[in-house]
Structure 1
């Protein structure tokens, strides 16, 4: 029986790519660097803002102080965090159905920004704990955030489920010895999700998995 479900945020619960793209391009173009399309940004997100900026600069072949862009991104994104972001279909209804199970969000974005995203979209009330990369010594694909969260809720890996849209979630889950569920509607191609224990095309399909486990 599943006692704890650990969710990724961006690409799993919320489609936030447009807002991330807008923030990234604002800061790049302000510094004289050409921006990226939404589809290009989709391939770069998932590892936090520092890596996003690093990847953007590498893609443009530009030597530029990354911290300046990171600070710009966080400040702009904080003010425009849900201008375009929306919960994916069936997310709220499914979370409501799972109300008797402890639910957590672990994201590679900052805790403050994760919290604000969920709050603005009316999702915060469904979760017992929200953590960003700044709350742990390591970030996904490290298993540390999952292992520490399992301990925090006094449960065990065999009673825990990890749900995400990227290989980072799957790798972290596998290393923590928990069952993994990959969603196909997020920011990664289905091919990179094949190592997950379960693959779902709609968020509501999670209910069947939880009942069977």
Structure 2
């Protein structure tokens, strides 16, 4: 079931930009395990997976800082972040998988069976190295002309720098662009760039979406093709 408070002008859309964690992939368990490995290394108690999941979305640095309780010792935070990143690089694909329907929907959107094939890209706050490696391992990379991470630019989402760069590289206008994501961060990024926003209720941060007022909600990746097809969005 798909709900839309507004109607995206689907015939005009030429660029789709996807978030990664909670949108294309379910990485919750590997991220939680890596955070708890970091906490154990520092002789701190483990956190519940649900708590860690609520910290995801603003990049690795903020994830680690929140898990540590926002300490003032920056050297301590940097040491913790290094351990987390080293551990996560080795364990990023232990349990991480593509959400059901993602590959099929990306194939349909790219091929443009309705004559509306679009360019597609990834913009995530996860560091670009593991992001690209995950996309390659899970057969996502061929669908995207660019995969940018949280360290690809001087700022992260919700700052629109990365999205604006993708819009420029694709040679399209913001009005022709949709940002697809599972959190208010993605919606705010789209708004700041003048693009449309499609919200994924199945992701890691659905509780943040309503207040962000996206242009469209979907309940699964299978809904992407309906939401972005020339037939419009169904309720």
1:8-23 pair list within 5 angstroms: 8-23=19-34
- 2: distance between equivalents of 1:176 and 1:168? 12
Q: Is the 8 A contact 1:162 1:173 kept in 2?
A: yes
Q: CA deviation at 1:189?
A: 3.1
The residue aligned with 2:176 is 159
The residue aligned with 1:109 is 126
Q: Is the 8 A contact 1:19 1:77 kept in 2?
A: yes
- 1: distance between equivalents of 2:144 and 2:208? 30
The residue aligned with 1:93 is 104
Unaligned stretches of 5+ in structure 1? Answer: none
TM-score w.r.t. the length of structure 2 is 0.86
Whether 2:135 is the aligned partner of 1:118: answer yes
Q: Is the 8 A contact 2:26 2:99 kept in 1?
A: yes
The residue aligned with 1:177 is 194
Q: 2:205 aligns with which of 179, 188, 196?
A: 188
- 1: distance between equivalents of 2:208 and 2:20? 20
- 2: distance between equivalents of 1:14 and 1:153? 24
The residue aligned with 1:55 is 66
Q: Deviations over 1:53-103 (max 9, x none)?
A: 1111117x7967011111111111111111000101100000000113111
1:119-134 pair list within 5 angstroms: 119-134=136-151
The residue aligned with 1:210 is 228
- 1: distance between equivalents of 2:206 and 2:222? 20
The residue aligned with 1:43 is 54
- 1: distance between equivalents of 2:100 and 2:85? 27
Q: Which fold has the larger relative contact order, with Cα–Cα distance below 8 Å and residues 6 or more apart in sequence?
A: 2
1:143-154 pair list within 5 angstroms: 143-154=160-171
TM-score w.r.t. the length of structure 1 is 0.95
The residue aligned with 2:113 is none
Q: Root-mean-square deviation (CA), in Å?
A: 1.6
Q: Is the 8 A contact 2:184 2:208 kept in 1?
A: no
> Which deviates more from structure 2 when the two are superposed, residues 203-212 or residues 99-108?
203-212
Q: Secondary structure at the match of 2:69?
A: helix
